[in-house]
Amino acid sequence: NAGVTQTPKFRILKIGQSMTLQCAQDMNHNYMYWYRQDPGMGLKLIYYSVGAGITDKGEVPNGYNVSRSTTEYFPLRLELAAPSQTSVYFCASSYPARNEQFFGPGTRLTVL
Amino acid sequence: GNSVTQMEGPVTLSEEAFLTINCTYTATGYPSLFWYVQYPGEGLQLLLKATKADDKGSNKGFEATYRKETTSFHLEKGSVQVSDSAVYFCALSQETSGSRLTFGEGTQLTVNP
């Protein structure tokens, strides 16, 4: 199993551009999550999903959108990128009620 | 809402020293508690967990005990190695919130030979 995979690994955007961060998991996990990690800080939840077609906001959803059309994929969309969105983004997945989350390697995004 | 507070870092130790990283939490009900570790340039990995009061999680020589009376989940290791150098995150989750994790701010550990 590949586990949780994320693409791209690095990206530089200009202010106002948009992009989609890709996340896939091959463990048939129902739950998936997007976090951002700012330097010297813990992770903050952006959006999460408890199954295909179901998504909900986390702590810091502004400026982002998500969709979940299948169990495997959970892309994160940035519209009108801003410097405040410079961060490392992690995708994670888990079984319901199992609690342990499995993390991808992250995407380092810089907005200039 | 839920919150997790970790001791401030960074922490620098010599090899074979004793490690304690403090973690306290605020939550309603009975959350599950976790320690995650992040090695340089990598994603987070689960180090250990405890799902109910007085449970002790352990892995790779690390231990933490779920103390409901003090709302704490301190991480300990008797003898650290250089390879333990990483960032350690305390976290909690509750099934009622989609098993969302609430993280502490992380503690950077550096172990010198």
Give the tens place of pLDDT for each residue, A16-31.
999 999 999 999 999 9
* Mean pLDDT of the region A58-66: 95
Yes or no: say if A91 and B43 are a contact pair by the CB < 8 Å rule.
no
H/E element, A110: strand A107-111
Select the residue from A101, A102, A107, A108 to test the B interface by mutation, using most B Cβ atoms within 10 A. Answer: A101
CB contacts, 8 Å: A66 with chain B: none
**Residue B50 Cα, gap to closest chain A Cα (Å):** 10
CB contacts, 8 Å: B89 with chain A: 42-43
Strand-pair partners of A19: A78
CA B21, CA B40: separation in Å to the nearest integer?
A: 19
Contact yes or no for B99 and A101 at CB 8 A: yes
Contact yes or no for A42 and B104 at CB 8 A: yes
Least confident interval from A40-49, A74-83, B51-60, B88-97: B88-97
Nearest CA among B53, B64, B60, B79 for reference residue B22 = B64
List, in sequence order, the alpha helices (H) in A1-112: none
CA A12, CA A34: separation in Å to the nearest integer?
A: 19
Confidence of residue A77 (pLDDT cuts 50, 70, 90): very high
End-to-end CA distance of chain A: 36
How do strand A43-51 and strand A31-37 relate by DSSP bridges? antiparallel
Looking at the predicted structure, is the pLDDT value of residue A97 above 70?
A: no
**Amino acid type, B79:** S
pLDDT in tens, B25-81: 999 888 999 999 999 888 899 999 999 999 999 999 999 999 999 999 999 999 999
CB contacts, 8 Å: A42 with chain B: 4, 89, 103-106
Residue B98 is nearest to which of A31, A41, A100, comparing CB atoms? Answer: A31
CA A87, CA A35: separation in Å to the nearest integer?
A: 10
Contact yes or no for B100 and A43 at CB 8 A: no
Residue B44 is nearest to which of A48, A96, A103, comparing CB atoms? Answer: A103
Query: Nearest 5°: CA angle at B34, between B99 and B113?
Result: 150
* Residue appearing with tokens 């959803």: A61
**Residue A59 Cα, gap to closest chain B Cα (Å):** 10
Task: Name the residue with higher pLDDT: A39 or B17.
Answer: B17
A40 close to B (CB below 8 A)? yes
Structure token digits, residue A104: 């991808």
CA A45, CA B101: separation in Å to the nearest integer?
A: 8
